[in-house]
Chain A
Amino acid sequence: MTYEIILDWLQASLRWSAPLIICAMGEIFAERSGIINMGIEGIMLCGALCGVAVSYYAQSQAVALFACAILGLVLGLIVAFLTVSRRTNQVVTGLMINLLAIGATNVIFSVLTVMRHKRATTFGALFPESMHRIPLVGPVLFAQPFTTWIAIFIAFIASFVLYKTRWGLNVRAVGDNPQATATAGLSVIKLKYQTLILSSIAASVAGGILTLASSGYFAAGGMTGGRGFIVLAAVVVGGWDPMRTMFACMLFGATDAAQLRLQTTESIIPTQFLQMLPYVITVVALTIMVKRSRVPKTWGAAYDGRRS
Chain B
Amino acid sequence: MKKIITVLLSLAVMFSVFAGGAKEQVDMTGSVAMVLSGLKTDQAFNQYTYEGMLRAASEKGIKTAYKENVTDAEQVEVIRQLAQQGYEIIIGQGGQFGDSLATVAKEYPDTHFIFSVGKDTYGLPNMSAATVSYSEAGYLGGIMAAHSTKTGKVAMITGVFYANQAQMRDSFKKALHDVNPSIEFTAIETNDWSDTDKAYNATNALIAQGYDVLFPCLDAAGAGVAAATDDSKNKAVLVGSVADYAETYDCKSAMGSVTFNWEGLGYLEATGELTDGKSHVVGMAGNGISAIYNNLSSEGVAAVEKAKSDLSAGKINIPD
List the interface of chain A (C-beta within 8 A of B).
Answer: 1, 4-5, 7-9, 12, 15-16, 106-107, 110-111, 113, 116-119, 122, 210-211, 214-225, 257, 260-261, 263-264, 271, 275
Q: How far is the CA of A216 from the CA of B196 in the complex (A)?
A: 8
Contact with A along B184-202 (1 / 0, CB 8 A): 0011111111111111111
- Chain A residues, CB < 8 A from B273: none
Inter-chain contact B194/A223, CB cutoff 8 Å: yes
A-B CB proximity, top 9 nearest: A219-B220, A8-B208, A217-B223, A221-B194, A110-B41, A219-B194, A215-B196, A215-B224, A215-B227
Q: How far is the CA of A180 from the CA of B61 in the complex (A)?
A: 74
- Chain A residues, CB < 8 A from B195: 219, 223-225
A12-B201 CB under 8 A given contacts A216-B227, A219-B221: yes
- Chain B residues, CB < 8 A from A222: 194
State which of B190, B201, B210, B219 has its C-beta within 8 Å of the C-beta of A214. Answer: B201
A5-B250 CB under 8 A given contacts A110-B42, A211-B197, A214-B196: no
Q: Is there a chain A Cβ closer than 8 Å to B43's Cβ?
A: yes
Q: How far is the CA of A72 from the CA of B220 in the complex (A)?
A: 25
Q: Is there a chain A Cβ closer than 8 Å to B124's Cβ?
A: no
Interface size class for chain B?
35 or more
Contact with A along B207-228 (1 / 0, CB 8 A): 0111000000001110110011
Shortest CB-to-CB span from B299 to chain A, Å, is 28
Inter-chain contact B200/A215, CB cutoff 8 Å: yes
Contact with A along B32-44 (1 / 0, CB 8 A): 0000001101110
Report the nearest B residue to A276, measured CB to CB: B191
User: 18 new A-B pairs (CB below 8 Å) besides A1-B210, A223-B197?
Assistant: A1-B209, A7-B208, A9-B205, A16-B201, A118-B250, A119-B223, A119-B230, A119-B249, A214-B227, A215-B197, A216-B227, A221-B38, A222-B194, A225-B198, A257-B205, A261-B209, A264-B205, A264-B209
Contacts between chains A and B (CB distance < 8 A), count: 118
- Chain B residues, CB < 8 A from A257: 201, 205
Q: How far is the CA of A12 from the CA of B210 in the complex (A)?
A: 16
Pick the most buried of B38, B197, B209: most chain A CB atoms within 10 A of its CB: B197
Would you mind naming 18 contact pairs between A and B with Cβ atoms under 8 Å apart? A5-B208, A8-B204, A9-B205, A16-B201, A113-B43, A116-B43, A116-B223, A119-B250, A214-B197, A215-B197, A215-B199, A217-B196, A217-B227, A219-B195, A220-B220, A223-B194, A224-B195, A261-B209
- Chain A residues, CB < 8 A from B204: 8, 12
Q: How far is the CA of A223 from the CA of B221 in the complex (A)?
A: 8
Inter-chain contact A211/B39, CB cutoff 8 Å: no
- Chain B residues, CB < 8 A from A219: 194-196, 219-221, 223
Report the nearest A residue to B184, measured CB to CB: A264
Q: How far is the CA of A225 from the CA of B202 in the complex (A)?
A: 15
Inter-chain contact B196/A220, CB cutoff 8 Å: no
Q: Is there a chain A Cβ closer than 8 Å to B206's Cβ?
A: yes
Q: Is there a chain A Cβ closer than 8 Å to B103's Cβ?
A: no
Q: Is there a chain A Cβ closer than 8 Å to B155's Cβ?
A: yes
Q: Is there a chain A Cβ closer than 8 Å to B247's Cβ?
A: yes
Q: Is there a chain A Cβ closer than 8 Å to B81's Cβ?
A: no
